[in-house]
Amino acid sequence: MTQRPTVTVSTLQAKKQAQEKITMLTAYDASFAALMDKAGIDCILVGDSLGNVIHGAASTLGVSVDDVVYHCRCVASAINGPLLVADMPFMSYHDRSTTAHNAHRLIAEGGASMVKLEGGGEERADTIHHLCAQGMAVCGHLGLTPQWVHRFGGFKVQGRSEQAAQQIETEAHQLAAAGIQLLVLEGVPAPLAQRISELIDVPVIGIGAGVNVDGQVLVLHDMLGMNPRPARFVRDFLATGGSIEQAFVHYIEAVRDGSFPAAAETYQQ
């Protein structure tokens, strides 16, 4: 385990203010997480993408709270630098008391410092406000939220029309007012992501959202070139890095110097 200052929500806020990019990757086990920590990653997300990359499912919908707790504990055992974020799985945050119970499990049993919930609107903002009032750090997730795959009719870029963009912007303001301390924006046109990251005080982490946000996240298996049908925003860092450790170093450098994502890895509209 490497020894470096532990990343907290204050670190992320300071980075946004200093216009220093925040780096995040997903991890699901101790071995990869330890290498990411050594490379200097700011945040690790135990994403419900584990449904895709660990379980081999077509969506994230079958992931349970037990699954995330288990993988979170594996990751937590190997790191001490990065802020550890845990995803709340599909239907694990549908009413106040279930949400609080499940979020508590991810923190107390999994070792997470922050929980992430998908979606916007008044009801979601109220749920988030309730978690924050219990002292939990919460990350929002808007845009192409994978748990909404069947409502969206597939994994489609969101916020392309003026009306849809306005709705995502409104939701970002609602979540910020509810108390989120980090926001993931996924699969949205770059100009919308830039506007939101300029308008809200909360650090915005993009994935398929262009370079003009406060940081980037990628799924581990995607950035190691293991996805046979990668999305436009994915870059294979193992191809340039030559080793897994160097892939993490290259990713961190490319996010920090703004060379990732490039225009060709971005949805302009």
Residues that bind ligand KIV (CB under 6 A): 26, 45, 47-49, 87, 184, 186, 207, 217, 219
Q: CB neighbours of 65 closer than 8 A, spacing ≥ 6?
A: 88, 89, 92, 102, 105, 106
| Dihedral sign for Cα atoms in the order 214, 124, 58, 159 | negative
Instruction: Give the nearer residue to ligand KIV in terms of CB position, either 17 or 141.
Output: 141
User: Residues 231, 154: contact at Cβ < 8 Å?
Assistant: no
Instruction: Give the nearer residue to ligand KIV in terms of CB position, either 89 or 179.
Output: 89
**Least Å distance between CB 49 and ligand KIV?**
3
Instruction: Give the nearer residue to ligand KIV in terms of CB position, either 1 or 76.
Output: 76
**Least Å distance between CB 195 and ligand KIV?**
20
**Least Å distance between CB 24 and ligand KIV?**
8
Phi, psi of 113, deg, nearest 5 = -100, -10
Tokens standing for 11? Answer: 């670190």
**Least Å distance between CB 186 and ligand KIV?**
6
Distance CA 217, CA 7 (A): 16
How many Cα atoms within 13 Å fall on the side-chain side of residue 257? 6
Instruction: Give the nearer residue to ligand KIV in terms of CB position, either 178 or 207.
Output: 207
Q: CB neighbours of 180 closer than 8 A, spacing ≥ 6?
A: 128, 132, 138, 139, 140, 202
Tokens standing for 51? Answer: 């449904």
The DSSP secondary-structure symbol of 204 reads E
**Least Å distance between CB 59 and ligand KIV?**
11
Instruction: Give the nearer residue to ligand KIV in terms of CB position, either 135 or 154.
Output: 154
Q: CB neighbours of 41 closer than 8 A, spacing ≥ 6?
A: 23, 24, 25, 81, 82, 248, 252
186 classed as catalytic:
yes
Cα 268 from chain centroid (whole Å):
21
Residue number with the smallest Cβ distance to ligand KIV? 47
Which residues are paired to 183 by β-bridges? Answer: 140, 204
**Least Å distance between CB 162 and ligand KIV?**
25
- Which of 109, 122, 186, 253 does the annotation list as catalytic? 186
Distance CA 79, CA 125 (A): 31
Instruction: Give the nearer residue to ligand KIV in terms of CB position, either 125 or 184.
Output: 184
Mapped onto helix, strand or coil, the DSSP state of residue 36 is helix
Tokens standing for 44? Answer: 């690790």
Catalytically active residues are 186
